Chain A
């Protein structure tokens, strides 16, 4: 039994639950109080939990993450909102040099249970620095965990699991899916979460080829699978959910089943998540492959002005074109 809610609302309810469950959980970020965040994900939380727990910060990302480090050392569990993907870089130093390494440096004496929420990805017609997919920078950093929900159900559970996790987590929210709706059982306790946070899942099962994707591209790939079915091709869609660590078992299982893999993501193709997946699959499933692992991604250019974005972003046609190429081998 559930409620039909948007992904944004699911995050909001998830955050509320985490704050109710643990008084050490704090939210921090720009405009998250009265405004409820520019995407309204924190709507109403300051009203109910007060300015001490839903902290409107000065406009300074390094400041947000750097002070979160101190709060974590002091025993708090900060959940930081970065307003848009392109604005995480002033905080990048703190995230990769401090947050990511503290546990290792202190041999586990200091934990960094920090969640860094970042609305990411394109498709909303925004200006520069508002549509980027910087996940590979973070996934490349040892000490960080990186996840991305693709639907309201996962958003609701994953945000709570991320907050409960003792490792620092970069939590990428697919901003163009904020308004997508689905049934979510918001009354179940966290212990009833249907899945482990760091696990991949099959979003659509099939037998002929595998689409590997996450976040905003899952919906695109599921749509592509439906279209392919009409043409007589059965595509499996694996939603990674976790980018670091990667949950390889379901990826390997699907590869063995279909023999053809196409990785789909919005970020630039070169040296990114797709490259990592292709390498891992090649290492572990070399003899199961009927074709090389292919990538359908954004181009290796800066994210373009919005009039170009429809062409930049992988869409149904480009995904299906990738599938065709995989069958061409």
Chain B
């Protein structure tokens, strides 16, 4: 059986505000003005997140991280949606949301620590308004709905955003999340990054219809946006969050994008996709189009790009050095957080094990 390759269809009802060539275009519903400053800021975000991703991938290849889930190619979907959030809005990510994490002020070292196997994610989800990564596919969409139901009960105007992939749309949990959200009108934006694959399974294995069409069947609005267009992702997510705030939510946003890298560093994509497909999508690179726009219209000179490159390199250097310098966690910690009220059993196991380990040290000494 050969790998079959279908040229990505130009999707007529996909919101786009910046073409792959870097031309600003209008959309009748999502008319949006962006200042040059704003676009320059988005470019900086995109470029730095890519730099972080590339560095983390290199760290994985050198054996410093157990695994890494790259967001290469998905930066616009993540930065666009991430920058649309207000400080109090709560985000529920999956596990490749480096760009969203960046927007929420998560130190990239907190991401590498988790992938290095030191913890389950070291940041405070409440303070950062960014839940811990969720590896079990789709689970977090229900958490997002529950959180949104809480927001509603508090009569607050925070909004909630749940990230998930095209593959996740097949899970029962995600479909149950849609039902609950619709049934309670919960203020939640379902932000699906359709990156065309769930590991090796193409999107056609998950759905016969475009994903955003599904929303209608559950009774809320679905919008497809060009996921490689940071302006469109920002505008559409802002609109969707506003719908939530004004009591009209939920909304499903399908960001139509592409995973340029392997699923994770463990994956071999040559088994299931063709180089031509990757090349085709390279032409739609989310960063290049902003760069093209800025060069033509953004009142920037080469030094603007040079400065951002330098800043990215600095962050990457810090990421590398910081990751390498991470201390192994204290042994006892394994026993300390399983319960809020420690149990006798674990107290005993902790003590026994600490003593047991110490017996080796004294033997060696």
Instruction: List residues of A whose CB falls within 8 A of some B CB.
Output: 30-31, 33-36, 38, 46-47, 51, 56-60, 62-63, 86-87, 89-90, 125-130, 270, 299-302, 304-309, 311-312, 317-318, 321
- Name B196-217 residues within 8 Å CB distance of A: 198-201, 205-206
| Contact residue among B170, B268, B272, B335 (Cβ-Cβ distance under 8 Å from A59) | B170
Say yes or no: B338 contacts A307, CB within 8 Å. no
Q: Report how far A308 CA is from B116 CA in the complex, Å.
A: 11
Q: Report how far A51 CA is from B2 CA in the complex, Å.
A: 12
Say yes or no: A31 contacts B170, CB within 8 Å. no
Q: A38-B267, A300-B343 are in contact. List 4 more A-B contacts (CB 8 A).
A: A56-B201, A59-B168, A127-B115, A317-B360
Question: Which A residues lie within 8 Å of B335 (CB)?
Answer: 299, 301
Number of interface residues of B (CB under 8 A): 46
Interface of B is mostly: loop
Instruction: Give 13 CB contacts A-B under 8 Å.
Output: A30-B199, A34-B1, A34-B272, A58-B201, A59-B206, A62-B172, A90-B171, A126-B66, A127-B135, A300-B345, A305-B117, A308-B334, A318-B356
Question: Which B residues lie within 8 Å of A127 (CB)?
Answer: 66-67, 114-115, 117, 135
Indicate whether A30 sits within 8 Å of B117 (C-beta atoms), given known contacts A60-B172, A127-B66. no
Within the complex, the shortest CB–CB distance from A105 to chain B, in Å, comes to 23
Question: Which B residues lie within 8 Å of A299 (CB)?
Answer: 334-335, 346, 349, 353
Say yes or no: A307 contacts B200, CB within 8 Å. no
Question: Which B residues lie within 8 Å of A130 (CB)?
Answer: 135
Q: Report how far A36 CA is from B136 CA in the complex, Å.
A: 21
Q: Report how far A89 CA is from B356 CA in the complex, Å.
A: 34
Question: Which B residues lie within 8 Å of A31 (CB)?
Answer: 199-201
Say yes or no: B338 contacts A301, CB within 8 Å. yes
Asked if B137 CB lies within 8 Å of chain A CBs, one says yes
Say yes or no: B136 contacts A89, CB within 8 Å. yes
Asked if B88 CB lies within 8 Å of chain A CBs, one says no
Asked if B321 CB lies within 8 Å of chain A CBs, one says no
Say yes or no: B66 contacts A59, CB within 8 Å. no
Q: Report how far A305 CA is from B198 CA in the complex, Å.
A: 24
The residue in chain B whose Cβ has the minimal distance to the Cβ of A34 is B272
Indicate whether A36 sits within 8 Å of B199 (C-beta atoms), given known contacts A58-B206, A307-B116. no
Q: Report how far A299 CA is from B356 CA in the complex, Å.
A: 14
Say yes or no: B1 contacts A307, CB within 8 Å. no
Q: Report how far A56 CA is from B116 CA in the complex, Å.
A: 31
Within the complex, the shortest CB–CB distance from B356 to chain A, in Å, comes to 7
Say yes or no: B334 contacts A301, CB within 8 Å. yes
**Pairs A-B, 7 closest by C-beta atoms:** A306-B117, A58-B170, A35-B200, A59-B167, A60-B170, A34-B272, A307-B117
Indicate whether A128 sits within 8 Å of B135 (C-beta atoms), given known contacts A46-B1, A60-B172. yes
Within the complex, the shortest CB–CB distance from B56 to chain A, in Å, comes to 14
Say yes or no: B170 contacts A63, CB within 8 Å. yes
Say yes or no: B328 contacts A307, CB within 8 Å. yes
Asked if B119 CB lies within 8 Å of chain A CBs, one says yes
The residue in chain B whose Cβ has the minimal distance to the Cβ of A84 is B135
Q: Report how far A56 CA is from B205 CA in the complex, Å.
A: 8
Asked if B157 CB lies within 8 Å of chain A CBs, one says no
**Chain B 253-270 interface 0/1 with A at a Cβ cutoff of 8 Å (1 = within):** 000000000000011100
| Contact residue among B171, B266, B334 (Cβ-Cβ distance under 8 Å from A304) | B334
Within the complex, the shortest CB–CB distance from A297 to chain B, in Å, comes to 10
Say yes or no: A38 contacts B199, CB within 8 Å. yes
Asked if B243 CB lies within 8 Å of chain A CBs, one says no
The residue in chain B whose Cβ has the minimal distance to the Cβ of A32 is B200
Question: Which A residues lie within 8 Å of B167 (CB)?
Answer: 58-59
Within the complex, the shortest CB–CB distance from A28 to chain B, in Å, comes to 12
Question: Which A residues lie within 8 Å of B114 (CB)?
Answer: 127, 305
Asked if B271 CB lies within 8 Å of chain A CBs, one says yes
Question: Which A residues lie within 8 Å of B116 (CB)?
Answer: 307
Asked if B295 CB lies within 8 Å of chain A CBs, one says no
| Contact residue among A38, A51, A302 (Cβ-Cβ distance under 8 Å from B338) | A302
Indicate whether A90 sits within 8 Å of B115 (C-beta atoms), given known contacts A35-B200, A58-B201. no
Question: Which B residues lie within 8 Å of A46 (CB)?
Answer: 1
Indicate whether A307 sits within 8 Å of B329 (C-beta atoms), given known contacts A58-B201, A301-B338. yes
The residue in chain B whose Cβ has the minimal distance to the Cβ of A317 is B360
Say yes or no: B198 contacts A59, CB within 8 Å. yes
The residue in chain B whose Cβ has the minimal distance to the Cβ of A89 is B136
Within the complex, the shortest CB–CB distance from B331 to chain A, in Å, comes to 6
Question: Which A residues lie within 8 Å of B292 (CB)?
Answer: none
Question: Which B residues lie within 8 Å of A47 (CB)?
Answer: 1
Within the complex, the shortest CB–CB distance from A322 to chain B, in Å, comes to 11
Q: Report how far A128 CA is from B137 CA in the complex, Å.
A: 12
Question: Which B residues lie within 8 Å of A86 (CB)?
Answer: 135-136
Question: Which A residues lie within 8 Å of B117 (CB)?
Answer: 125, 127, 305-307, 309
The residue in chain A whose Cβ has the minimal distance to the Cβ of B269 is A35
Say yes or no: A30 contacts B331, CB within 8 Å. no
Q: Report how far A89 CA is from B170 CA in the complex, Å.
A: 15
Asked if B173 CB lies within 8 Å of chain A CBs, one says yes
Asked if B120 CB lies within 8 Å of chain A CBs, one says yes
Within the complex, the shortest CB–CB distance from A123 to chain B, in Å, comes to 12
Say yes or no: B118 contacts A307, CB within 8 Å. yes
Within the complex, the shortest CB–CB distance from A184 to chain B, in Å, comes to 26
Say yes or no: B66 contacts A306, CB within 8 Å. yes
Say yes or no: B171 contacts A59, CB within 8 Å. yes
Asked if B361 CB lies within 8 Å of chain A CBs, one says no
Q: Report how far A90 CA is from B357 CA in the complex, Å.
A: 38
Indicate whether A35 sits within 8 Å of B271 (C-beta atoms), given known contacts A62-B172, A127-B135, A312-B334. yes
- Name B307-351 residues within 8 Å CB distance of A: 328-329, 331, 333-335, 338, 343, 345-346, 349
Asked if B275 CB lies within 8 Å of chain A CBs, one says no
Within the complex, the shortest CB–CB distance from A53 to chain B, in Å, comes to 13
